[in-house]
Amino acid sequence: MIDKVDEFNSYRAKMNDKILSENNKVLKRIFNLDTNAFAEGALDKKTKELLGLVASTVLRCDDCVKYHLEASHKEGISREEVMETLSIGTLIGGTIVIPHLRRAFEYWEALEDNKQ
């Protein structure tokens, strides 16, 4: 059985390849802008990923939350830092965010399980 992390990454990669194969200049530029926005700059990657996680939580985008959780995990961000970031996103977003918070916790646990 494919785990949650592999399933998400496989689907994301497959669909990104399909989207980018359309050779649409606007979509390619948006994808490139997104990639470059989270690169090292005046803010370090860790800070940018945590900012992305807060924004994604508030906007209730589960795919985006998963993406930023995984990027945070790869950056070595601690569980405590992620949980504090999610708490800020939940505070700002309100109780409507709680179902997304549950899925975020579940995905973070899957990331931790894959590390072992």
pLDDT of residue 114: 83
pTM of the model: 0.91
What is the per-residue pLDDT across 34-76, written as a single tens digit (0 to 9) for each?
999 999 999 999 999 999 999 999 999 999 999 999 999 999 9
What is the per-residue pLDDT across 86-100, written as a single tens digit (0 to 9) for each?
999 999 999 999 999
Longest dimension (CA), the chain: 42
Single-letter code of the amino acid located at 53: L
Contact indicator for 75, 113 with CB cutoff of 8 Å: no
